[in-house]
Amino acid sequence: MANIKNLERQHLEIKKLFSEINEKINSKDVAGNIDDLVKDINILAGKLNIHMSSEDKFLYPTLIESDNKELREIAKEYSSEMGDIFAKFNDYKSKFNTKNKILGDVYGFIKESKQIVGLLESRISKEDKHLYPRIAAL
């Protein structure tokens, strides 16, 4: 079955970025953290692109072809669900990937950052708790 060590490593890197973004948006000094926030959002976008590409090209197709019915169903559900989540992230990124865009709507940026990071954290947690252990057990 699929080797998930690289995907797990990617999750750790992505979760570290979530933590850094959350810390900066909760600091009450978004303007003072603006350069780092823009950098973090763009790095997060790159890491998510790589991670999603790995899952879409290698992990989910393998699981969908698996003899294990439970893994097939999970893979179909997760693959479909992630497409929706990634579309929401891309909308967020396009809206807030520069200093001027963030400074033009700081309140909206903070609100949407909390929502999208929470959504992505929930999804990664779901994979970490429910999918990856099943794969590792094979």
Residue 55 burial by Cβ neighbours in a 10 Å radius (0-12, 13-18, 19+)? buried
pTM above 0.85, yes or no: yes
**Tens-binned pLDDT, residue by residue, of the chain (138 aa):** 557 899 999 999 999 999 999 999 999 899 999 999 999 999 999 999 999 999 988 899 999 999 999 999 999 999 888 888 989 999 999 999 999 999 999 999 999 999 999 999 999 999 999 999 989 888
Give, in order, the Cα–Cα distances in Å from 57 to each of 2, 62, 71, 93, 120.
12, 9, 16, 23, 20
Return d(Cα 32, Cα 102) in angstroms, integer. 12
Q: By three-state DSSP, how is residue 50 classified?
A: helix
Q: How many residues does this entry show for the chain?
A: 138
- Residue 107 confidence (pLDDT): 94
Q: Which helix (H) or strand (E) holds 84?
A: helix 69-95
